[in-house]
Structure 1
Amino acid sequence: MTEEEIVRFEANGFFMNEMSIGESGNKVHNYRIAFFTPRIFKSHLENRLLDFFSQKSKSYFLDEINILLDSVYNESFLKNDEEGTYKICLETSKYYVQQFIDELPVLVTSKHQVNSENQRNSIFISYSHADKDYVTSFKRHFANLIRTHDLDLWDDSKIKPGQKWEEEIKKAMQKAKVAIFVTSADFFASDFIANKELPELLRAAEEEGAKVLSIIVKPCDFSNTPLGIYQAMNNPTHTLLHMNELQREELWVNLVSEVRKILEL
């Protein structure tokens, strides 16, 4: 079973357990919590979400709950809801579900479909402008991949005049499946990278399956940074400054190869 199938199965079990409190033999009262006491339903739902660590799992779980709420209302309440009481409780319960969904960076908008605006499918390059030449050098090797697969290889040179640069960076990070870190002492000295880019991209790696690829361009204390737990493309003792042109070009080819594997291109 896939992650989605498992989580949706768990959501069904939770929902039926929550809804089975009431008088036996009375179908309406067998579906009680969400349609009679939405606030209690919200509390139980909040506690159940603690069992899931990834944002995507929580999204699948909540989406399935929304589907079940609609289904049960239509099958068991609609005919008996002349005054609209159950409809109000349904909408209240769905409102609470939506509150939890709105807190998540990955939203499931319908069953088996992840919102394309939040789907991670691009590459984000994090670097210091002091190392811009290295970025320019390896971007050449992605030209064929960009041309044949419409790949989004993003760095801050894509920010247009008049755009809010910090918002553009944030949006690009939210779409990144691969984060390429071009590291050096200048990179780690950047407050913006340390406080904005690194935390967000490493969170995405831990919670949403984004992948981390680090390139060490100059000697630095790489191993003792948050990136040190991830295998880099090159050894910290053999930086790009130590390499000749042939070795650097081979490293760029390996970088493209790793991206192909991650994106399954």
Structure 2
Amino acid sequence: MDQQKLTDLLKLMINEADELRDYNRDSAKFRTWEDKVYRRIINIYGKDSREYFGFKGIPFNMMLGQNIWEKANPSVQKRHFNDCLDEAKLFFEGLIEDIQLFPKKSLEESSETQVKKIFISHSSKDKKIVSEIVHLLSLIGVQDSSIFCTSLSGYDIPLGDNWLETLKSEISGEVIVLFVLSENYFQSNVSLCEMGAAWVLSKKHVPILIPPVEFKNIDGVIPLTQGLIIRDKHKWTQLKTQLEILFNLSPKAPQIWETRRDEILERIEYLLIP
């Protein structure tokens, strides 16, 4: 990003912080602003940057060790909230000073870490379930052009293209891979080959388990720290939040998301019936 534009953006964030003084930590306006700040910081500096952890360290939530009366007292809560807003302003002002002190520092490299695509690794026999997963991704706000899936028309490899070469070109450090792990998947040599290629070429992975497959059944196959069972509503909401940050998406209203998410998961549940 151009350094003048970045400076202007940081000044805008300072002004936005001032406009929040009549609100509180639980207000929709603050939560929207906080989400927006996180997206901006991640896109500009990266999620592993000191800037990201610097903003994350501002204690907008009162610490658990504080006196219960203080946490319940509105005036104390208000003062704490405004103190945190002041801390955020000083944080943004410090970033502006960094730009002025180090004018030649490039910030463009951090933007290269932004996820550009989602690759869905799956068995072709699970095509109907994967189609519903694509519907969930679309509901979250991921564009069709950002989804790569070998079995669905429009998301697949063009006719005449070399399968492995296309896979290599599509999967890179800028891709998050969703492994749709089912009994069909582990019985398919093509799927297992795809898993190996995707694992080596990409940096972000999320296993999605299709019953009766369980985490204990595939322990040691791939790390499962961020995995989910496909019918788990809450895990899908967590994944939604991650994708909103990674793709810089506007958050879907909870009522809309939950209603449509549940409709899609009901269809998936029907597909799981033997």
TM-score (structure 1 length as normaliser): 0.43
TM-score (structure 2 length as normaliser): 0.42
Structure of greater relative contact order (alpha carbons < 8 Å, 6+ residues apart)? 2
Higher helix share: 1
